[in-house]
Amino acid sequence: MLELREVSKSFGGLRAVDRVSAVFQPGRITALIGPNGAGKTTLFHLIGGVLQPDEGDILYNGKRLNGLPPWKVARLGIGRLFQDVRVFRKLSALENALTAFPNQLGESPLWSILQRPKVVRQEVAATERARRLLAFVGLLEMADDPAESLSYGQQKLLAIARLLAAGSEVLLLDEPTAGVNPEMAKSILNILRQLAKEGKTNVVIEHDMGVVMEIADWVYFMDDGQIVAQGTPEEVLGDATVRAAYLGL
């Protein structure tokens, strides 16, 4: 379980995140919504170790994440999908997935020489698993295609496969359906549902309220750095404060 306890972050005189407490449960999809500048992305930066909180605690399975750099947070099982995707454009889809597997013996020249059979066995197993992950996200037929030849939506799917290859149990997804066509958006949402069924913790920043209503199990509404409403999508989007501040109704 991922938990925030009274987390705050300021930049000069701006309090971007203000005493935020939230719980993100395994096996469900939690949406973070709110106007631009509400603090949603800053919250992701804090969870992922890009920024450190001024106050409060960030806990994952009881372990305090404060002070850990991003790579250590990722090793603990917290992965992030950025809006700009960040795939390795010149590598194939398969190679992109393979780069994410941790503790690969072949990364060491000494192991490659002295323990070649063991390295080869690990590489074969990793390749098979990478292909299964590509099949899971619907990209197996494009395994050998360079990532730059994939559509934007397909690159998002590849980035999700790479997070899974890294062993991520918590997925921080920044607008996963933004900028993709409706059919691709449907594919992405179906994958997130399946991951939730498998026990993954999915946290989604989303501006499309139709997507929130369709997929979210729980919603946190942020405004001016604070969580001002939480509940089911129906409860939050039916809240008068949310409708006035965010939907203009």
Structure tokens at 216: 């979210």
Q: Is the pLDDT of residue 130 over 90?
A: yes
Domain ranges of the chain: 2-87+165-247, 91-149
pLDDT at 145: 96
11 forms bridges with which residues in the sheet?
Answer: 14
pLDDT at 168: 94
pTM: 0.89
Percent of the chain surpassing pLDDT 70: 93
- Of 35 and 118, which is predicted with more confidence? 35
Of the ranges 18-22, 101-105, 118-122, the best mean pLDDT one:
18-22
Q: Is the pLDDT of residue 106 over 60?
A: no
Tell me the pLDDT tens digit for each residue of 146-177.
999 999 999 999 999 999 999 999 999 999 99
How, if at all, do strands 218-223 and 29-33 pair?
A: parallel
Tell me the pLDDT tens digit for each residue of 173-214.
999 999 899 999 999 999 999 999 999 999 999 988 899 999
pLDDT at 86: 87
Residues 6+ apart with CB under 8 A from 182: none
Q: Is the pLDDT of residue 79 over 90?
A: yes
2-87+165-247 in CATH: which number? Answer: 3.40.50.300
